[in-house]
Amino acid sequence: MAKVAVMGSGNGSQAMAADLTLKGHEVSLYETEEFAGGVNARYVFENKRIRLEGRAGDGTAEIHCVTSDLAEAVKGAEVIFLPLPAFAQEYYAKALADVVEEGQIIVLTPGNLGSLIFKKIFREKGVTADITFVETATLNYDARILDPGHVYVYDRNYEIKCGVLPASRSQQVYKILEKYYQEFIPCEDVLACGLHSLNPCLHIPGCVMNAGRIERSKGEFYLYEEGITPTVANVMEVLDAERGAIVHKLGYELMTVAMELAEGREPRTIWEEVNGCMTLEFIKGPTSLKNRYFTEDIPYGLVAWSDLGKQIGVATPLIDAFIEIGSIIIEQKPRETGRTMEKLGIKGMSIEEIKAYLGHEA
C-alpha cells in the first residue's frame, strides 16, 4: 500500500480517489474551502465515502482523508495526482510550491504542458525540494458524478501517453507509477506528450463549425454522431497535419488522430474512424459555447501549438484561424490568457535548448 494525494473533488478526482482506495492505497482527497461546500464535495467531506460504479469496478471506497488543508493532504504522499482542468494548474502550482516534500512526484492528468507551468512557478518560488513532474495526454477515466458520493465511470482510457520532467528520470518514474496505473505509455518527454493531447483536433473543428447548431440545440447535440461530417473530418485532417508538422520538426514520433482512433489497426481517414464508432457515437455535447471543448482546448491547446510553431518555424494557418474565430465565440483573448511559450518558460529557445530544458541527458 502506498500513500497518495488526489487534488479536487470533481468527476475525475472522485473516480480516481475511489479507484485507488479500492486498489488498496491510502488516499488523501483535497478540495479548496471555496469548493468544499458544494453539494457533491460536501457529502464526501462529511462521509469520507465514495461509491464507484462502471468500467473502473464497483464498490464503496472509504477514503482515508478528505481535507481542505493542503499540507495535510500531501504529507507523506509518494505521488500527488491532479485530474483537473488546465485552468486550475497555475493555482495548484503556486499552492503546492509551499508544501511539497523531497522526492514527491506530481502527476497532471491530463497535462496540456502544465508540467512546464509547474517547473517555472516552482523555480520562481524558490522550491528547493527535488520534485519530478509527470503529465498525461488524457484523463484516466471518463466519469460523471451521478449523485453526491456516487461516481460512474463510463469508460477507462488505456495506453495513455505520458511524459516525465526531467526526461532523464523517465524509466525510474514509470516503475513507481506502475503501482497505480498500468496504462501509461512513455513519450520522449512532456512536450511530446503535450503535443499528443489530441482534444483540440477532436473537438475544435466540430465545435466551431457547429457553433450555431450547439446554440440552438438546447443541450441536444452529439458532437461525433452529428457534428463530425465528411467535410468537418477533412478540416480535422488538415489541423492534425499542422500539429504533425510541429511534432516532426521537434524530432518526435507522431501518432495522428486517425492512428489514435484506430487503436492499433491500420488507420483509415478520420471520417472513417469516427463514423459509426460505438465509443464516440453516444457522447453528448457540448451543450453550450462555454464548454471546456471551447474554453480549454483553444487557449490551452491551440495557442500553445501555434506559439510553438512560430518559435521553431512551422506555419499553422488553420490553427491560427480557429484561434481567431474561437476568440469571438468564447469572448476571450486566448493569445493573452492562453498557454504561450513565455508562460511555459521556453520563449526564444532553440530546439536544442528546449530539449536540454526538458531534462534530456547530453
Q: If one looks up domain 199-357 in CATH, what number appears?
A: 1.10.1040.10
Instruction: Given the residues 19, 142, 240, 297, select the one marked as catalytic.
Output: 297
Percentage of residues in the chain having pLDDT higher than 70: 100
pLDDT for residue 268 is more than 70: yes
Active site residue 297: yes
Could you tell me the pLDDT band of residue 124, with boundaries at 50, 70 and 90?
A: very high
Percentage of residues in the chain having pLDDT higher than 90: 88
Alpha helices in 199-316 (DSSP H): 199-208, 211-216, 230-249, 257-262, 270-274, 278-281, 292-295, 303-312
In angstroms, the CA 290 to CA 329 distance is: 9
pLDDT in tens, 164-221: 999 999 999 999 999 999 889 999 999 999 999 999 999 999 999 999 999 999 889 9
Helix and strand element counts for the chain (H, E):
20, 12
pLDDT in tens, 24-78: 999 999 999 999 888 889 999 999 999 999 988 899 999 999 999 999 999 999 9
Contact 41, 35 (CB under 8 A): yes
Q: Tell me the whole-structure pTM to 2 decimals.
A: 0.94
The segment(s) of the chain belonging to CATH 3.40.50.720 are 3-194
pLDDT for residue 279 is more than 80: no
Instruction: Given the residues 189, 203, 307, 320, select the one marked as catalytic.
Output: 203
Q: What is the mean pLDDT of residues 287-308?
A: 96
**Record: fold of 3-194:** Rossmann fold (3.40.50)
The segment(s) of the chain belonging to CATH 1.10.1040.10 are 199-357
Residue type, 147: D
Furthest C-alpha separation in the chain: 55
